[in-house]
Amino acid sequence: MNKKDYLKQIEDVIANGPYADTWDSLCEHPVPKWYEKGKFGIFIHWGVYSVPAFGNEWYPRNMYVKGSKENLHHEKTYGTLDKFGYKDFIPMFRAEKFDPREWTKLFLESGAKFVVPVAEHHDGFQMYDSDFSDWNAVKMGPERNVLEELRCEAEKEGIVFGASSHRAEHYWFFNGGRRIPESDVNNTEYEELYGPAMGVTRDMSNIYDNPPSEEFMQDWLVRTCELVDRYQPKLLFFDWWIQQYAWKPYLRKFAAYYYNRAEQWGAEVAIDAKFDAYVYGSAVNDLERGQLDHITPDFWQDDTSVAKNSWGYTVGNDYKDPSDIVLDLVDVVSKNGALLLNIGPKSDGTIPDEDAHILKEVGKWLKVNGEAIYGTKYWKIFGEGPTDVPEGHFTDTTGKNYTSRDIRFTSRGNHIYAIVMRWPEDGKVSIESLGNDYKYLNSTIRDIQILGTDHHPEFSRNKELDIVSGLQVDAGKMPVVLKLTID
């Protein structure tokens, strides 16, 4: 189908479906139950940028910025930009060890309930088969439909499959190459890969700066709807630049098409978006490496990575401690959110040992304590304690010095889960919010159990709920869950 016919199909689906391309209509779309219950998923940044494995996944852009560390590294390692451009990495991206079954086994071991591979990053190289570009992993490089292979394995194992699109940023991503006359960005033979490369400068924070052309936005809409039709992702994640004002009519059209298609499939789906690109209530709000300092009744998501410096694989990635990931997960879930944790495979398709180690350690904790996460609801308050968690994008709490006074709450039925962020050496825990002033709990605590053990510690309820476990809990840096049964 050509683009003109696809655009007509999009209009027909919207006209004949329950969702119109208006904010009022889109705000009626519910958040999927699988999403609210699942809480934890895996994000995957894997593409051609994993070949140079230097700096981060923005290497394709920065290699065309004269004097940048990526540019200097590139010319020293691969040659000048008239001899070796980004396109020349594609034959080196072979994915010869890519095994989607082994990846999926690792995701299962991590305790993840959904998986979101990057379908197309800013670099314009698709990890799936498409009628609208030859620059993809089926026709070049690995010559495999990475997205489809992952979808099949994930769904076979009961993991919900999603995908992310970063196509919007492609409008300007390679614009640094315009300043370098000899670069291949200026060669019309490769314009489909490098895109418009519009605007040598731009203000990222200005939603009116450097608006994309109608042609580019129509192309984006067709490509994104094709992604939905071919692979039926239950979650569609967008990166940040779609909050640019010019995108708004196209965001509405895409959401209406996607939601209507899902109605035809009988599937529950969601869109994730940042910075109010989608009107409040019409999609799930996402905070990149971000947190909230309060409970919101509207389900939200924090997407973060196992590495502090990059989303894709680079040599010498600076990895987080697994406990920091679990502590983030607990804090996010206590505030009615989900955590989407990113890994970055190597160009040959292997998942680095460090990434795998983190996923396995998260999985070990969830195997013991998952009932305090999966299928839970937030409680009356998210928690208590002296450690502040700043709110906003890019407020990653990695390395927070939580104490035994830092508690997070989740709930299910007649159970409250009090999650102690750092277990005290003496095994004594005091929880102010559950004291006998009945400010938050005007009910009886019948029993307390430490998850992962058969131990039911003694407790007294005075000004605070005082718990004396008498048990040495070998938790290391990981949080410990107290399961309270309420009557």
Starting at the edge strand found earlier in the chain, the sheet holding 480-486 runs 383-384, 407-412, 415-420, 480-486, 445-450
Same domain? For 294 and 425 the reply is: no
pTM: 0.97
**DSSP state for residue 27 in the 8-state scheme:** T
Same domain? For 355 and 414 the reply is: no
Q: What is the pLDDT of residue 266?
A: 98
For residue 367, is it within any domain? yes
Count the neighbouring beta carbons within 10 Å of the beta carbon of residue 214. 11
Residue 164, helix vs strand vs coil: strand
Q: What is the pLDDT of residue 474?
A: 81
For residue 214, is it within any domain? yes
Q: Identify the bridge partners of residue 271 per DSSP, sorted by sequence position.
A: 236
- What dihedral do alpha carbons 227, 228, 233, 237 form, nearest 10°? 70
Indicate the number of domains in the chain: 2
Tokens of 46: 């894997």
Alpha carbons 205 and 486: distance in angstroms, whole number: 48
Identity of the residue numbered 330 = V
CATH of the domain at 19: 3.20.20.80
Q: What is the pLDDT of residue 201?
A: 66
Q: What is the pLDDT of residue 469?
A: 86
Domain that holds residue 58: 3-372
Q: Are 48 and 125 in contact (CB under 8 A)?
A: yes
Phi, psi of 376 (to 5 degrees): -90, 170
Alpha carbons 284 and 299: distance in angstroms, whole number: 7
Same domain? For 338 and 426 the reply is: no
For residue 395, is it within any domain? no
Residue with tokens 């051609």, as numbered in its chain: 48
CATH of the domain at 417: 2.60.40.1180
Tokens of 142: 């690995």
Q: Give how far the C-alpha of residue 299 lies from the chain's centroid of Cα atoms, to the nearest Å.
A: 14
For residue 306, is it within any domain? yes
For residue 380, is it within any domain? no
Among residues 372, 391, 411, the one where a domain terminates is 372
Alpha carbons 396 and 390: distance in angstroms, whole number: 8
Q: What is the pLDDT of residue 450?
A: 97
Instruction: Kindly give the confidence (pLDDT) of every residue in the chain, 487 residues in length, as a single tens digit, with 9 standing for 90 and above.
Output: 899 999 999 999 999 999 999 999 999 999 999 999 999 999 999 999 999 999 999 999 999 999 999 999 999 999 999 999 999 999 999 999 999 999 999 999 999 999 999 999 999 999 999 999 999 999 999 999 999 999 999 999 999 999 999 999 999 999 999 999 999 999 999 999 999 999 766 777 789 988 999 999 999 999 999 999 999 999 999 999 999 999 999 999 999 999 999 999 999 999 999 999 999 999 999 999 999 999 999 999 999 999 999 999 999 999 999 999 999 999 999 999 999 999 999 999 999 999 999 999 999 999 999 999 999 999 999 999 999 999 998 888 677 889 999 999 999 999 999 999 999 999 999 999 999 998 999 999 999 999 999 999 999 999 999 999 877 788 889 999 999 999 9
Same domain? For 38 and 175 the reply is: yes
Same domain? For 135 and 192 the reply is: yes
Same domain? For 301 and 203 the reply is: yes
Alpha carbons 391 and 62: distance in angstroms, whole number: 29
Same domain? For 284 and 352 the reply is: yes
| CA triple 129-133-138, angle to 5 deg | 30
Q: What is the pLDDT of residue 200?
A: 64
End-to-end CA distance of the chain: 61
Rg (CA), the chain: 24
* SS3 per-residue string spanning 379-437: CCCCEECCCCCCCECCCCCCCCCCCCCCEEEEEECCEEEEEECCCCCCCEEEEHHHCCC
Q: Are 113 and 159 in contact (CB under 8 A)?
A: yes
Q: Identify the bridge partners of residue 467 per DSSP, sorted by sequence position.
A: 429, 459
**DSSP state for residue 285 in the 8-state scheme:** E
Q: What is the pLDDT of residue 185?
A: 97
For residue 386, is it within any domain? no
Candidates 276, 88, 84, 55; CA nearest to 182 is: 84
Residue 190, helix vs strand vs coil: helix
Same domain? For 476 and 339 the reply is: no
Same domain? For 230 and 351 the reply is: yes
Phi, psi of 98 (to 5 degrees): -65, 120
For residue 196, is it within any domain? yes
Same domain? For 303 and 441 the reply is: no
Same domain? For 346 and 476 the reply is: no
b/e per residue, 217-238, with b = 16+ CB within 10 A?
bbbbbbbbbbbbebbbbbbbbb
Same domain? For 37 and 75 the reply is: yes
For residue 390, is it within any domain? no
